[in-house]
């Protein structure tokens, strides 16, 4: 065929690709055609919006509302009228600056950082798991109060879960342990920073208001008690070691240095035993609102209506795109 001459097959209109972008219709742009499609399918949009609202309200009726207990903590104060005071005394010798477990003020990992890291997890969760009241409060659906024993949770979804686990040769857990306590607390505990400062807001969610407030306070107390016990153990070990060395050293200068170290460690042990917060000061005690705040209907219902509206608009766009695709294919001889 000579150059410059177009074959009849090349003059035929090519079908549009399968896409959600509407092809121009009658000189209309994509946006105008999309708006026209939505205007023509307003009934579908209304149905999607109402359907989203209905699903949200049905979900709110099925979900158990929960209370959120909150507390504000900060690093233990060293100075001031409400402070515990420095646990590590001002040492005259440079070599004894970092002997005590709490460490000096320039340590890389502070007691407060350890407190936030261990809050409700690790050894603290193991400590909490030894309290039957805490276990029953965290897992009320697995505790049979009439028979006084742990049981698998009732319901269709837990039954399906146990069936799936049985298919692969596994079993669902029945009696909770420290690992289950860690997982449960990780799902419900939230730690937020306040105004880019050292203070933190810790929140805990539970279906019962009094239980939420009580559990949050118990978790905080258990974390502080664990760090205090660890510091006391280290200090006692160092005191015992220094006393052992004193019995074997005869050089006067060495005995004086060890005596100074022993005096410092005994001061540290005395400050650890003070009945004050060890790693974190309680700025605001655990409190919770009088009404449940999760889930929030003022947020869930409008958001569900918007999702239903968007889903209906997407369905209309896809339907129109498929319809135009079919018309384009039929138009090709």
* Whether the model pTM is above 0.75: no
Q: Which domain holds residue 235?
A: 67-139+176-288
Token pair recorded at residue 119: 């809050």
**Cα(265)–Cα(214) distance, integer angstroms:** 35
Largest CA distance in the chain: 114
Say whether both 89 and 222 belong to one domain. yes
Same domain? For 56 and 71 the reply is no
Contact 216, 292 (CB under 8 A): no
Residue 225 lies in a domain: yes
pLDDT at 323 over 80: no
Do 51 and 93 belong to one domain?
no
Do residues 217 and 191 both lie within one domain? Answer: yes
Between 94 and 11, residue with greater pLDDT? 11
Share of the chain above pLDDT 70, in %: 77
Same domain, 94 and 188: yes
Q: Domain of 184: which CATH number?
A: 3.30.1890
pLDDT digits (tens, 9 = 90+) for 68-126: 999 999 998 665 545 555 555 544 444 444 444 444 444 457 889 899 999 988 899 99
Domain count, the chain: 2
Region of residue 4 (left: phi > 0; alpha: psi -120 to 50; beta: else): left
Selected residue with higher pLDDT from 91 and 298: 298
What distances in angstroms separate CA 284 from CA 77, 178, 227, 257, one per listed residue?
A: 15, 28, 21, 43
- pLDDT at position 34, please? 66
* One domain for residues 300 and 279: no
Is residue 52 domain-shared with residue 74, that is, in the same domain? no
Residues 246 and 317 in one domain: no
Q: List CB contacts of 35: < 8 A, sequence separation 6 or more.
A: none
Residues 191-214: tens digit of each pLDDT:
999 888 889 999 999 999 999 999
Residue 184's pLDDT is 92
Residue 323 and residue 201 share a domain: no
């Amino acid at each position: 065929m000579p150059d410059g001459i177009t074959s009849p097959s090349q003059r035929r209109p090519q079908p549009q690709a399968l896409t959600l972008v509407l092809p121009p219709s009658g000189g209309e742009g994509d946006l105008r055609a999309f708006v026209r499609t939505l205007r023509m399918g307003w009934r579908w949009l209304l149905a999607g919006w109402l359907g989203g609202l209905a699903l949200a309200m049905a979900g709110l009726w099925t979900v158990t509302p929960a209370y959120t207990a909150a507390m504000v903590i900060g690093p233990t104060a060293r100075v001031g009228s409400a402070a515990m005071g420095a646990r590590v005394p001002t040492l005259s010798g440079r070599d004894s600056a970092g002997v005590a477990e709490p460490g000096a003020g320039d340590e890389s990992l502070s007691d407060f950082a350890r407190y936030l890291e261990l809050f409700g997890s690790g050894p603290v969760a193991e400590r909490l798991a030894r309290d039957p009241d805490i276990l029953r409060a965290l897992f009320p659906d697995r505790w049979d109060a009439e028979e006084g024993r742990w049981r698998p949770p009732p319901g269709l979804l837990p039954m399906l879960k146990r069936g799936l686990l049985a298919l692969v040769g596994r079993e669902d857990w029945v009696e909770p342990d420290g690992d289950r306590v860690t997982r449960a607390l990780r799902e419900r505990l939230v730690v937020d920073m306040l105004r880019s400062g050292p203070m933190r807001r810790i929140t805990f969610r539970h279906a019962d208001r009094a239980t939420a407030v009580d559990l949050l306070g118990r978790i905080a107390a258990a974390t502080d008690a664990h760090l205090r016990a660890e510091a006391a153990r280290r200090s006692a070990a160092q005191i015992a070691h220094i006393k052992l060395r004193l019995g074997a050293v005869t050089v006067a200068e060495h005995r004086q240095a060890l005596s100074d170290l022993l005096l410092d460690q005994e001061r540290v042990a005395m400050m650890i035993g003070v009945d004050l917060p060890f790693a974190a000061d309680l700025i605001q005690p655990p409190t919770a609102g009088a009404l449940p705040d999760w889930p929030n209907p003022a947020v869930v219902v409008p958001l569900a209506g918007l999702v239903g509206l968007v889903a209906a608009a997407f369905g209309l766009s896809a339907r129109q795109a498929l319809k135009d695709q079919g018309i384009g294919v039929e138009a090709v001889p």
